[in-house]
Amino acid sequence: MKRFFLTLAVAGLSLGVQATNHVAQNNQSSQSLSSQTDSVAMFDNISTIEVVALRAGKSSPMAYTDIGRKQIERNSYGTDIPSLLALSPSMIATNETGIGIGGTSIRLRGTDATRLNVTVNGMPLNNPDSHSTYWYDTPDLISAIGDVQIQRGAGVSTNGTGAFGGAINMTTTAPATQFGGSASLSYGSYNTNKQSVAIGSGLIGGHWTVDARVSHIGSDGYIDRGKTDLKSYLLQGGYYSGKTSVKLLSFGGVAKTYLTYTGVTKEEMALYGRRYHTEGQYETSHGPYTLADGTKVDYYDDQTDNYLQLNNQLVVNHSFNEQWAMNVTGYYTYGYGYYKQYKAERTLLEYSNLGITDPSVEADMIRRKIMRNHTFGLNASAHYTADKVSAIFGGSWSHYRCPHWGDIEWVDGMAKSDIAGRWYDNDVTKQDANIFAKVMWKPVEKLHIFADLQYRMVGYRAWGVNDNFDWNTMQMQPIAIDKLYHFFNPHFGINYNFAKRHRLYASFAIANKEPTRADFTDRYMFAKDSSYPSPERLFDYEVGYQYSSNSLSLGVNLYYMKYRNQLIPTGMVNDSSDALNVNVPDSYRCGVEVILDYKIAKWISVKGSATISRNKIENYVDLLADSPTYGQNLGTMTIAYSPNCIASLGFDFHHKGFEALLNTQYVGKQYLTNNQIESLTLDSYCVTNLDLGYRLSLSKEGSVRFGLSIYNLLNAEYCSNGYGYSYMWDGVRYDEAYYFPQAPLHILANVTVNF
């Protein structure tokens, strides 16, 4: 924690010097003006200044979707952010516990979460090592978010992990100008509950604000033992004047979730039901549960993922005049966590600290996998706006450090004194820096030409001993990775507005991305050679048309995403359920996205989207060592986890204080591997949710909202995710598939008081 406060203090001092100078100059020049009026004006525009460097605008030649605070609030009564994002085009949400809480993730255009860039106020949220965004590591983040922009495709220059299939840019809620707050309670099926309290000071003395929020989310989960316990906080204070703002923000929390990342087979579902899974299961003669073969079993009740994450930001904005503005953000994130697991009948030779040399010795054990990470960085940008040209110049730098290690708490038949020490220990450092320049030029009225040039440097080092045991060398797997990547990511486009309500756009972009930690360390699980994975390259072509009026918005976007050395999921997962990926030389994703938003009358509107796509590997050579088709050229194959159809339709009914939202999403069949094996698929599914709400006004500022969310209204039986693989054993082919079933019809009721 000392490092936490020291780093934050250094960032605050360096940025605060600039802010103090700007504030002093502003105070001297604006004494004759109303400070209250100037502060409110700055207050209203702060979010624009903070995120304009990373966002697309109305004249940007690319496909994107904006989600405002009102829509966010409708989905913030208990579920994670992926449930909200799934309402946007080409997006799929997945969940391990079956109810949208806990182990949640997303895919966009078939691209998984490790290739989607996620930022909050410009701060990268993706883990720099795994590249994933673990939503429950920042509990109840949805309550802190003011708005979201989802960019599909390469997007614009951003910070952190490369946007290889899309970018999700979020801003936290702007503090209120008036004193107020809220208290919210939710309760529903499977003991799902949420309690949240928020309060804001409003403007104090015309310049200062303080806001705070605390919340708790809990659930037993649909999946057996899929318990989630999430505690979160947000604290922000700010100073605002006519041209300058300084904001200090801290958010995060503590998460404890039962491990549910082991899927269930169809055979197991038939025997034990859809809620069954095997995490923490062990045999015991006194077990209260009996398997189909008569085996007595019990479950370890602390088979959990435990994580603490604290995100801290210092944001400085300054407008020099009508043409020039700047933003500087310093950030520091601290994380500490571990998996705690019961492992039955483990070969003790695989644990270096036990001193066992006989490979036949096995025993049950309780082990932990631990990590502690520090990420700190700086983002800066300058903004220039004129009649015909607008430009943004900037860059960012971040440093990540994370030791990984494991210890063993208990081994059946061994004394505690015999199991001390670590069974693996390794370290990771990562430097990530970029500089960029974006220019929007309007040579003639209604025509905009866009250019975005980014240079990104990534330095990745990992060393020590990993948790994998190598049976060839009879030792733990050594790690010795030292990679330096230089990426140039250009983006060009043109946007033309015509006939008042119509616009056409076209763009071309190149994006590059480095491999993840698992891509380096876990290749041995499927590859015959010991080579390293290659970085990926994307060539993204987009063409679109949009019509907008007061009552109708219609858009069509065509995309062709051509890849070199794309790292695609094999369908296999490692010991922590991270996907194992393999480079393929040539592949592509192409499709059409259609979006509709029609206001039928003042009290009802309809929204819809559909994505029809083709996602293929060209001349796919199966390089999975244990695959029945190893070494064979299988021709053109469908990329795993890439449905050829994603569609949604929603109705929004509202009258006075009452509102009802009905939304249906259809997701087509997905292959779990790249061999197009029908027994290794996720079936298509269609799920419908209904949200009901009534807001009762009590005063000018106060209100009470009563809400009821009915999920899976039509009681569909479906699985949102899975994994699988094929192998040969004694001349017999086996296809193994594991699934994550989702809950049948379930509800969540909510009462929120605003004051």
**DSSP-assigned states of every residue in 72-96:** HHHT-SS--HHHHHTTSTTEEEEES
pLDDT at 25 over 80: no
Q: What is the predicted pLDDT for the residue at 1?
A: 40
E strands in 278-388: 281-283, 289-290, 296-299, 304-319, 324-347, 362-385
Q: How far apart are CA 160 and CA 400, in angstroms?
A: 11
Q: What is the predicted pLDDT for the residue at 177?
A: 84
Q: Nearest to residue 248, comparing CAs of 121, 125, 380, 142?
A: 121
Q: Which helix (DSSP H) or strand (DSSP E) does residue 265 occupy?
A: none
Band the pLDDT of 458: cuts 50, 70, 90.
very high
pLDDT at 601 over 90: yes
Count of alpha carbons within 13 Å of 291, Cβ hemisphere only? 16
Q: What is the predicted pLDDT for the residue at 578?
A: 80
Q: 23 and 17 in contact (C-beta within 8 Å)?
A: no
Give ∠ CA 188-606-687 in degrees, rounded to 5.
Answer: 40
| Residue ranges making up the domain that contains 231 | 2-754
Count of alpha carbons within 13 Å of 310, Cβ hemisphere only? 14
Residues 6+ apart with CB under 8 A from 89: 63, 65, 152, 593, 595, 609, 611, 646, 648
Q: How far apart are CA 254 and CA 139, in angstroms?
A: 7
| Percent of the chain at pLDDT exceeding 90 | 80
Secondary structure class of 418 (helix, strand, coil): helix
pLDDT at 560 over 60: yes
Q: Stretch 307-331: mean pLDDT, rounded?
A: 95
pLDDT at 32 over 50: no
DSSP per residue, 25-76: HHHHH-TTS-HHHHHHHHHHHHHHHHHGGG---TT-SSEEEEE-HHHHHHT-
Q: What is the predicted pLDDT for the residue at 14?
A: 35
pLDDT, tens digit, for every residue of 202-214? 999 989 999 999 9
Secondary structure class of 398 (helix, strand, coil): strand
Q: Stretch 447-456: mean pLDDT, rounded?
A: 97
Q: What is the predicted pLDDT for the residue at 480?
A: 95
Per the structure, how many domains does the chain have?
1
Q: What is the predicted pLDDT for the residue at 45?
A: 56
Supply the CATH number for residue 564's domain. 2.40.170.20
- The conformation of residue 751, written as its DSSP 8-state character, comes to E
| Percent of the chain at pLDDT exceeding 70 | 93
Q: Stretch 507-531: mean pLDDT, rounded?
A: 90
Q: What is the predicted pLDDT for the residue at 199?
A: 96
DSSP per residue, 169-216: EEEEPPPPSS-EEEEEEEEEGGGEEEEEEEEE---BTTTEEEEEEEEE
Residues 6+ apart with CB under 8 A from 686: 664, 665, 666, 667, 714, 716, 718
Q: What is the predicted pLDDT for the residue at 740?
A: 97
Band the pLDDT of 44: cuts 50, 70, 90.
low
Burial 153-191, CB ≥16 within 10 A → b, else e: bbbbbbbbbbbbbbbbbbbbbbbbbeebbbebebbbbbe
Q: How far apart are CA 248 and CA 239, in angstroms?
A: 9
Secondary structure class of 4 (helix, strand, coil): helix
Q: Stretch 510-532: mean pLDDT, rounded?
A: 89
pLDDT at 47 over 70: no
Q: 149 and 166 in contact (C-beta within 8 Å)?
A: no
Q: Which helix (DSSP H) or strand (DSSP E) does residue 13 occupy?
A: helix 2-29
Band the pLDDT of 626: cuts 50, 70, 90.
confident
Q: How far apart are CA 579 and CA 641, in angstroms?
A: 11
Q: How far apart are CA 233 and CA 254, in angstroms?
A: 9
pLDDT, tens digit, for every residue of 420-438? 899 999 999 999 999 999 9
Other CB atoms within 10 Å distance of the CB of residue 451: 14
Q: 721 and 713 in contact (C-beta within 8 Å)?
A: no
Residue 348 falls in which region: left (phi positive, over 0), alpha (psi -120 to 50) or beta: alpha
Q: Stretch 346-368: mean pLDDT, rounded?
A: 94
Give the lowest-confidence range in 47-51, 473-477, 494-498, 559-563. Answer: 47-51
Enter the tokens of residue 63.
């496909």
pLDDT at 21 over 50: no
Enter the tokens of residue 657.
């204080």
pLDDT at 18 over 50: no
Q: Stretch 261-275: mean pLDDT, rounded?
A: 96
Radius of gyration of the chain (CA): 26
Enter the tokens of residue 552.
């109708």
Q: Which residue has 């607008």 as its token pair? A: 390
Burial 414-449, CB ≥16 within 10 A → b, else e: beeeebeeebbbbebbbbbbbbbebebebeeeeebb
Residue 102 falls in which region: left (phi positive, over 0), alpha (psi -120 to 50) or beta: left
Count of alpha carbons within 13 Å of 674, Cβ hemisphere only? 33
pLDDT at 415 over 80: yes
Q: Stretch 457-472: mean pLDDT, rounded?
A: 93
Secondary structure class of 9 (helix, strand, coil): helix
* pTM of the predicted model as reported, rounded to 2 decimal places: 0.91
Mean of the per-residue pLDDT values of the chain = 91
Q: Stretch 376-400: mean pLDDT, rounded?
A: 95
- The conformation of residue 102, written as its DSSP 8-state character, comes to S
Q: What is the predicted pLDDT for the residue at 574?
A: 82
Q: 359 or 20, which is more confident?
A: 359
